[in-house]
Chain A
Amino acid sequence: MIYLDHAAATPVSKKVLEAMEPYFLHDFFNPSAAYLPAKKVNANYEAAKGTIAHAIGAKASDLIITAGATEANNLAFTSIDCVDSRQSLSGQSIKSVLYLETEHDSVRRVAEQYGGEAIRVLPNGLIDLNDFKDKLTDDVELVSVALANNELGTIQPLAEIAAIIREAKLDRLKRGIKTQLLLHSDASQALNLLDINVARLGIDLLTINSAKVYGPKGVGALYVSHEARLKPLTLGGGQENGFRSGTENVPGVIGFAKALEIAKKHLTSNRKKYTTWRKILLAELQGYELVNKKHMLDNFIVLCYNGIDAERLIFLLEEKQVYVSTGAACAASKGVRSHVLKAIGLTDEQIAGSLRISLGETNDESQIHEVARIMNEVVATERKRLENNE
């Protein structure tokens, strides 16, 4: 098997699994219980949260553990509910949310509920800063821009966006306008590939996810700065500082922390490795057009085979145990054309011909050569079939 879809899911690494195991079998106690073994579990849980927070330059108390990135994204948007809901004269709530048009559905769907407006991207996938500035009116309370896009791997200039927001805030204060203005970013795809520091980036809310960094699925977190206030989505025992009730997922958090520890350690060497493999692959593959040329994560390659239906390639590659995707796994299963590829100006035909390859820890260099060979072969077969049809 050659797995090239690390942007969709990553296997749990052995060390992570080993770290988690005791918390299923022996240290299973409810962290809120009174007896000593439970207190110990609680301490380890908090320490693990500290490790996770540390990886993004934050403190354990800044984190709310969730069941993944989708929940964290949903929770981030409750920051709008916490301020007085203002109504326009017509009784409709004021549009107060901006989001990048290439955001993942777990941001788009929520933003739409809040009457959100989309910020355009340029053909290179980067945020159109002029469009952003135009749309950043005094009503805007929250701006959501993913650190790295999940279909293209495009890295957005968050520091620059944060600077614009800081300026706007200042200007609002000068004019006596009290409306809050927060910056949220979904960093799920970038967590193990970029050095992230929330303070340096100037972010108020940051979504992170264990499942994309060789940790267990169903664990994520939302970083919340002191600027932002949230409204809990679940009520109950008051865990996670009251913002996310429910017994703590101790093994999940322990595993997430371990995965991040490992990711941090290998960040630089992994980036180099992926860059090399990417070069090899792009050199050995034939007859494609590269879609994401610049400003992308090192492990993302988006190719377009003109005139070919990439979905057919997926099934042909599947027969050879090579696994790639056409885009976001959730979008693919709904059978809809990628809104991301459309946003960067690809034609329907180009979108249909696009494949996403995301490299990762299950790969080695020999696989990269092997994949290039198999893909060339499969594409040639498909082209020949199409010619015979003519």
Chain B
Amino acid sequence: MSKTKVFVGMSGGVDSSVSAMLLKEQGYDVVGVYMKNWSQDLPGMKCPWAEDLADAKRVAVRLGIDFEVWDFENEYREKVVEYMLREFKAGNTPNPDIMCNQEIKFKLFYERAMKQGADFIATGHYARVGESNPSTLEPTRPPVFTGGSFSDGELRRPGHVRESDRLDSPALLRAVDENKDQTYFLYRISNEALVHTIFPIGEMTKPEVKKLAEENSLHNAYKRESMGVCFVGEVGMKDFLKEYIDIQPGEIREIESGEILGYHEGTVFYTIGQRHGLYLNGEKGKVNDGLPYYIVKKDMKNNIIYVSKDLNNENLWVNELELRDVFLRTNSAFDSCLVRMRHRAPLIPARFDGKKLTFANEIKRPASGQSAVLYNEKECLGGGIIA
């Protein structure tokens, strides 16, 4: 009888390293996998994939677990990068991490792991899996073998997972560490994958994870966290896009006066609400009075960006948001919920009619293409893409 087999995605970062360690300690048969999604260097940006891979492998070797590299570069390019470029070209601001989780980590990685005999997959996300039960919402984790008995107290042979261990309608629950909760990025992953997923550090706080890494001298405890399109942070996104999209000079106009204040490199490179990286004429007392201009509107057709100094500009505020590509995680109907517009952003109460979010007070308008993710007290109910 073989042990319960878990394939854990390892990025070389501290979260996935500690996740792998915990799984190993809990007695699972663990295989570490580095997902090679992107390896291309860009001008002035070196993709650190080989270093990340080496760090992940070092941890796997220390833990004495098998380690594999799965190459998803073509799929990542097709499913994530192309989606991203399509969205940007349409004037939206997409979130590649959400797409990566939906299409790569919790689809291709999950499917391949299952094909290779996995009982579960695991990742270093701060999130939890529980039974969807709106009344209690207490998380129930897959029972863990701790040398002799399972954590639910029942004595069974290791590796034997009962059908009842598999949750029929799993719930995606926010992490214990509210500050690190990553369910925002996970709201679109399939139930099928979620049932077979373990988030080993979902019950822990970041400082606890770090401490554990240090105590176990997991060499990479110092490392920065892995990012979306691996090395492309928010700052690098414009440079990244410029590799694929030609610059297209256009006007920057003040929305109130219609006056030309400066010029930009192409509407696609800018986001509503942005106030940095604008080339404005430095006319004294007008542009340079110390108050920043915000992008309030993008005219994609005429390649014009509209800006305003007025934080109360009507374009910046809304009390309704239309969602597209809505993905609901629960069958039970709900008409009010909490909404998160960005990773780690505060939860805002709203009413939801299945398509449209309505807020009691006006909120600052998030960029189109970003996701609005819906929650109740603890559970992620799904979400949609802001139209």
Contacts and interface: CB of A to CB of B under 8 A. Distances in A.
Contact of A335 (B50, B58, B61): B50
Interface in B121-160: none
B57 interface: yes
Given A311-B57, A315-B58, A318-B58, A333 B64 contact: no
Nearest to A331: B50
Interface in B11-57: 39, 49-51, 53-54, 57
Contacts, number: 22
B66 interface: yes
B217 to A, nearest CB: 9
Interface string A196-230: 00000000000000000000000000000000000
A316 B61 contact: yes
A319 interface: yes
A335 B49 contact: yes
Contact of B61 (A312, A333, A389): A312
Contacts of A319: 62
Interface string A308-343: 000110011011000000000000011100000000
A246 B143 CA distance: 67
Contacts of B57: 311-312, 315
Say whether chain B's binding surface is mostly helix, strand, loop, or mixed: helix
Contact of B64 (A311, A334, A385): A385
Contacts of B66: 389
Contacts of B64: 385
A278 to B, nearest CB: 27
Contacts of A316: 61
A318 B62 CA distance: 10
A389 B5 CA distance: 12
Interface string B341-357: 00000000000000000
B141 to A, nearest CB: 26
A389 B117 CA distance: 14
A335 B53 contact: yes
A318 B57 CA distance: 13
Contacts of A333: 50-51, 54
Interface in A372-386: 385
Contacts of B51: 333
Interface string B55-87: 001100110101100000000000000000000
A115 B53 CA distance: 33
B53 to A, nearest CB: 6
Interface string A343-375: 000000000000000000000000000000000
A224 to B, nearest CB: 32
Nearest to B34: A335
Interface residues of A, number: 11
Nearest to A315: B61
B49 to A, nearest CB: 7
Nearest to B49: A335
A389 B31 CA distance: 11
Contacts of B49: 335
Contacts of A389: 66
A333 B51 CA distance: 7
A319 B60 CA distance: 13
B16 to A, nearest CB: 17
A389 B67 CA distance: 12
Contacts of A334: 50
Interface in A161-210: none
Nearest to A319: B62
B338 to A, nearest CB: 43
A191 B64 CA distance: 40
A178 to B, nearest CB: 40
Contacts of B62: 315, 319
A385 B60 CA distance: 13
Contacts of B67: 312
A385 B66 CA distance: 9
User: Taking each of B39, B50, B61, B66, which has the highest tally of chain A beta carbons within 10 Å of its own beta carbon?
Assistant: B61
A34 B64 CA distance: 64
A373 B58 CA distance: 22
A385 B64 CA distance: 8
A319 B218 CA distance: 11
A258 to B, nearest CB: 34
A169 to B, nearest CB: 41
Contacts of B61: 312, 315-316
A1 to B, nearest CB: 16
A333 B48 CA distance: 9
A211 to B, nearest CB: 21
A9 B39 CA distance: 26
A279 B110 CA distance: 49
- Of A312, A316, A319, A335, most B-chain CB atoms within 10 Å: A335
Contacts of B39: 335
Contacts of A315: 57-58, 61-62
A318 B220 CA distance: 14
A159 to B, nearest CB: 38
Nearest to A336: B50
Contacts of B58: 315, 318
Nearest to B50: A335
B56 to A, nearest CB: 11
Nearest to A388: B64
Nearest to B48: A333
B36 to A, nearest CB: 8
A319 B216 CA distance: 13
Nearest to A335: B50
Contacts of A335: 39, 49-50, 53-54
Contacts of A312: 57, 61, 67
A333 B50 CA distance: 6
A316 B60 CA distance: 10
A342 to B, nearest CB: 18
A293 to B, nearest CB: 29
Nearest to A309: B67
Interface string A289-321: 000000000000000000000011001101100
A163 B51 CA distance: 44
A190 to B, nearest CB: 28
A92 B240 CA distance: 32
A318 B64 CA distance: 14
A315 B54 CA distance: 9
A104 to B, nearest CB: 18
22 contacts: A311-B57, A312-B57, A312-B61, A312-B67, A315-B57, A315-B58, A315-B61, A315-B62, A316-B61, A318-B58, A319-B62, A333-B50, A333-B51, A333-B54, A334-B50, A335-B39, A335-B49, A335-B50, A335-B53, A335-B54, A385-B64, A389-B66
Chain A to chain B: the 9 pairs with minimum beta-carbon distance, closest first: A315-B61, A335-B50, A315-B58, A312-B61, A333-B50, A334-B50, A335-B53, A385-B64, A316-B61
Given A312-B61, A315-B57, A335-B54, 18 more contacts: A312-B57, A312-B67, A315-B58, A315-B61, A315-B62, A316-B61, A318-B58, A319-B62, A333-B50, A333-B51, A333-B54, A334-B50, A335-B39, A335-B49, A335-B50, A335-B53, A385-B64, A389-B66
